């Protein structure tokens, strides 16, 4: 019997995984993007959509090892790692690669703990290839990245995985292309979850989180600001109500008093990069254009308020371009209400932007009587009970 080609083995493995109660979840994802075999590629590589497998590498793998490899690449797609964690890659490419691998390798192991279908690839010496460590259990890639980064003083690599991540290829996609792929991936996972349910399979908590309906953070933030900063309705006889003049009824028109100030607190200790910060502040500025606050107090904080910038009226137009982020220490959001009290800041509302990897003492927010919204970047497991105010997750 002729030896199967790498292409044939990959196709056969896809079919076998589709029939398995735990791995049928990924059936639709196998069809998202292109799958190819590359004679010159050392192991395997994905740009988050397309997957390439090195021919010689596939030929060396057992069927179980090949199944593990295929699931590994597929889960990079499921979590959209190369788009979601672009800021981590900019900070340290090698640690970002390692962090993503640690997360999904543990999950594959959990789906098949007795190695009935999968097992991690090994090298010519029988040593396990790839990254897996129980100390990262329950964490997402940002949490793993932060631990490795801090342990190595901002350097190091975190270890070497058995595949390559084409971050540049992922970056080349347009916003429209990324959005289209995101919808394809979500649809494929939802269909897979239905199939897994019918077959009695498991869907991990992490993937269930992906399928939880998302709130548009921009819309939520806009509603929050506009609702909490509405001026007090006043009437004036100096300007008559136009609607009633034509009915020969004289009524005063209404107007809103000037909205006061807004405090925006930005965590400068986490995984919020320059691009995300610019996006967030740009959205805040556009909302302020609508509600016209008297000023914005922009507070950069870690364990203390490291920077305080004030923007008045027309100065808001240059907020994104002129701001200078400061900080970089630990993480203690409770420094914000203490600073507000010290500086006698009494805004209409408070907006906090953070990666959510923090501890907070609600009692220390007792002096904050105005509404608070927490915008959480990249931490789906953020404990909402630990803070005072509303929560919205920034995608």
**Is 237 among the domain residues?**
no
Q: Hey, what are 140's tokens?
A: 């997402």
**Is 198 among the domain residues?**
yes
CB 333 within 8 A of CB 301: yes
Q: Which residue range is the domain that position 172 belongs to?
A: 6-203
**Is 212 among the domain residues?**
no
CA-nearest of 110, 13, 1 to 58 is 13
Residues 294 and 362 occupy one common structural domain: yes
Q: How many distinct structural domains can be found in the chain?
A: 2
Q: What is the pLDDT of residue 250?
A: 54
**Is 240 among the domain residues?**
no
CATH number for 332: 3.40.50.410
Residues 187 and 59 occupy one common structural domain: yes
3 state DSSP class of 304: coil
**Is 324 among the domain residues?**
yes
The CA dihedral of 108, 114, 115, 120, to the nearest 10 degrees, is 60
pTM of the shown model: 0.64
Residues 73 and 110 occupy one common structural domain: yes
Residues 123 and 264 occupy one common structural domain: no
DSSP structure class, residue 129: P
Per-residue pLDDT of the chain (395 residues; tens, 9 = 90+): 678 999 999 999 999 999 999 999 999 999 999 999 999 999 999 999 999 999 999 999 999 999 999 999 999 999 999 998 888 898 899 999 999 999 999 999 999 999 999 999 998 888 999 999 999 998 889 889 989 998 888 777 888 888 999 999 998 988 889 889 988 998 999 899 899 889 988 888 778 777 766 677 888 888 888 888 765 445 554 455 455 455 555 555 544 455 789 999 998 876 677 777 787 788 888 887 777 888 999 999 988 999 999 999 888 888 888 888 888 777 889 999 999 999 999 999 999 988 887 777 888 888 888 999 998 887 766 777 778 888 888 76
Residues 80 and 196 occupy one common structural domain: yes
Residues 128 and 183 occupy one common structural domain: yes
Residues 343 and 224 occupy one common structural domain: yes
Locate the DSSP E strands across 105-202.
164-165
Residues 89 and 189 occupy one common structural domain: yes
Residues 332 and 373 occupy one common structural domain: yes
Strand ranges of the sheet holding 349-354, from the earlier edge strand across to the other edge: 305-312, 293-301, 259-267, 349-354, 372-377, 390-394
**Is 243 among the domain residues?**
no
**Is 209 among the domain residues?**
no
Residues 187 and 221 occupy one common structural domain: no
Residues 40 and 150 occupy one common structural domain: yes
**Is 365 among the domain residues?**
yes
């Amino acid at each position: 019997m002729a030896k199967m080609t790498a292409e044939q083995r990959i196709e056969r493995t896809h079919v076998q995984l589709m029939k398995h109660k735990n791995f049928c979840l990924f059936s639709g994802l196998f069809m998202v993007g292109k799958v190819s075999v590359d004679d010159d590629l050392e192991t395997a590589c994905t740009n988050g959509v397309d997957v390439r497998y090195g021919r010689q590498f596939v030929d060396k793998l057992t069927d179980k090892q090949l199944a593990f490899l295929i699931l590994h690449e597929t889960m990079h797609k499921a979590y959209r790692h190369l788009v979601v964690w672009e800021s981590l890659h900019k900070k340290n490419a090698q640690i970002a690669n390692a962090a993503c691998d640690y997360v999904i390798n543990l999950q594959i192991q959990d789906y098949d703990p007795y190695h009935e279908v999968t097992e991690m690839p090994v090298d010519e010496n029988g040593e396990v290839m790839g990254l897996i460590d129980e100390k990262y259990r329950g964490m997402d890639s940002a949490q793993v990245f932060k631990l490795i980064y801090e342990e190595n003083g901002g350097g190091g690599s975190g270890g070497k995985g058995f595949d390559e991540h084409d971050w540049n290829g992922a970056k080349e996609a347009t916003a429209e292309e990324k959005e289209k792929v995101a919808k394809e991936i979500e649809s494929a996972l939802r269909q897979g979850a239905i199939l897994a349910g019918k077959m009695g399979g498991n869907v991990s908590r992490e993937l269930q989180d992906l399928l939880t309906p998302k709130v548009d953070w921009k819309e939520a933030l806009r509603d929050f600001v506009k609702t909490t900063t509405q001026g007090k309705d006043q009437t004036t006889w100096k300007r008559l109500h136009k609607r009633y003049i034509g009915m020969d009824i004289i009524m005063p028109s209404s107007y809103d008093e000037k909205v006061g100030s807004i405090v925006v607190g930005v965590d400068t200790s986490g995984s919020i990069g320059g691009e995300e910060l610019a996006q967030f502040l740009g959205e805040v500025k556009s909302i302020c254009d609508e509600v016209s606050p008297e000023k914005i107090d922009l507070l950069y904080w870690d364990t203390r308020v490291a920077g305080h910038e004030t923007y008045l009226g027309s100065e808001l137009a240059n907020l994104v371009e002129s701001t200078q982020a400061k900080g970089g220490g630990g993480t203690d959001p409770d420094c914000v209400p203490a600073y507000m009290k010290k500086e006698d800041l009494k805004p209409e509302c408070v907006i906090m932007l953070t990666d959510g990897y923090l501890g907070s003492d609600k009692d220390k927010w007792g002096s904050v009587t105005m509404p608070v919204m927490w915008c959480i970047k990249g931490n789906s497991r953020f404990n909402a009970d630990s803070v005072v105010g509303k929560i919205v997750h920034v995608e």
